[in-house]
Amino acid sequence: MNQSKNQTRMLVLWCVALGVFHVVILFLPLTRNFLFWLAYAFDVVAIFGQIPIMSLAFKNAQDAKSRFYGFPIARVGLIYLVVQFIAGTVVMLLCEWVPLWLAMILFVCILAFAIVGVIGTDTMRDKVEKIDSETISHTQTMRELSLKLKQLSERYPYSQLSKLVEEIRYSDPVSSDALRAVEERLSHSIDALTKALPEGNADLINRLIQNTFSILNERNQLCKQMKGR
């Protein structure tokens, strides 16, 4: 709903800006030769070009993070619009003296830089989103285990269990193939602890907590060794 409202507002603002631009340009007492209309055409391309640029920038704007990733693309589009407007206005005002070849090269270069900038920025966004996705995937296991232990500590008031929650919270959250085996053992130990806690067998619970501590410490040591390579 909010996204639809924002799109409507942007469309209204865009239409107003387009209308004001045409009124100012077409009613100013300027010489209207071929160079004037060339500058006018490139300005119009810059205005209408904002539609696909903004659509590309916010194509996946489902949350604040995706909108944030779209801002660099939108910024390239706005810079292109401002630069083209400045160049177009100068050429319109000096259309009797500016060489045609100079204006054409200037406008084409501005357009080319805008296209390259949008494509390059969109490519960088794809790479950042891929890295984010991989990071979330690689931290999923430890986040789930940490959450499971936290829920257990809230239900069962064991001091050692609370310490275990703190220990896993500050452990390296990133998983890898080299850590898969030890993390599977850690998961099995937490599952065993989950089953033992409702039974209230203190000796068994303490042994399982210590075993979980031991496996977690083993994982922490492996993480340090891998970082030291």
Give the tokens for residue 103: 């204006």
Query: How far apart are alpha carbons 221 and 23 in whole angstroms?
Result: 71
Which structural domain, as residue segments, surrounds residue 69? 2-135
pLDDT in tens, 98-133: 899 999 999 999 999 999 999 988 888 878 777 766
Per-residue CA distances from 142 to 45, 161, 170, 211 (Å): 51, 16, 11, 17
Q: Looking at the domain assignment, is residue 31 inside a domain? A: yes
pTM equals: 0.65
Mean pLDDT of 62-88: 81
Amino acid at 23: V
Q: Looking at the domain assignment, is residue 146 inside a domain? A: no
Do residues 121 and 177 share a domain? no
Do residues 114 and 34 share a domain? yes
The pLDDT assigned to 228 comes to 64
**Which of 57-66, 68-77, 89-98 is the least confident region?**
57-66
How many structural domains is the chain composed of? 2
Q: Looking at the domain assignment, is residue 141 inside a domain? A: no
The pLDDT assigned to 229 comes to 54
Per-residue CA distances from 125 to 57, 67, 115 (Å): 10, 11, 15
Tell me which residue of 113, 116, 118 sits closest to 54, measured CA to CA: 118
Q: Looking at the domain assignment, is residue 147 inside a domain? A: no
